[in-house]
Amino acid sequence: MLEQLKNRTRLQHRVAVYVPSTVDIDKTANTEKWVDMAASGLVNLYGGATVTEGVGYWFSDEKQAMIREQVKIVYAYSDDLQGMDGEKINQVLSFCEHMKEALKQEAISLEIDNELYFI
């Protein structure tokens, strides 16, 4: 590690929720409230959040087609992703499951420390 950073705060873990811009797999929708809810949740759990935009491509088993959609990636860094008894990650998982159901998605992507999980 660089000597100049020795006494600085280091947040070594990253958690990111990918918010789709569609409902029912491929119907464009305004999902900004979900972006705000994801950001608010990560701020409450980890102290801050950042949102970036991206484009996602994936093959839908249900539609038997490639889907292209805009996504918002809401992420936070922390030195402790779990919290007491893993409760922090449990809350993130619950949010992803709720968003998946509400937006009628086949899956929601959750990234933790450079590993992607389909929820």
Query: pLDDT tens digits for 46-68?
Result: 999 999 999 999 999 999 999 99
- Whether 105 has a pLDDT exceeding 90, the answer reads yes
- Across the range 76-95, mean pLDDT stands at 90
pLDDT at 50: 98
Full-model pTM? 0.93
Cα 77 from Cα 86, distance rounded (Å): 16
- Across the range 23-36, mean pLDDT stands at 96
Q: Where are the domains of the chain?
A: 12-118
pLDDT at 23: 96
Quote the percentage of the chain above a pLDDT of 90.
Answer: 82
CATH architecture of the domain with residue range 12-118? 2-Layer Sandwich (3.30)
Cα 77 from Cα 7, distance rounded (Å): 18
Q: How confident is the model at residue 71 (pLDDT cuts 50, 70, 90)?
A: very high
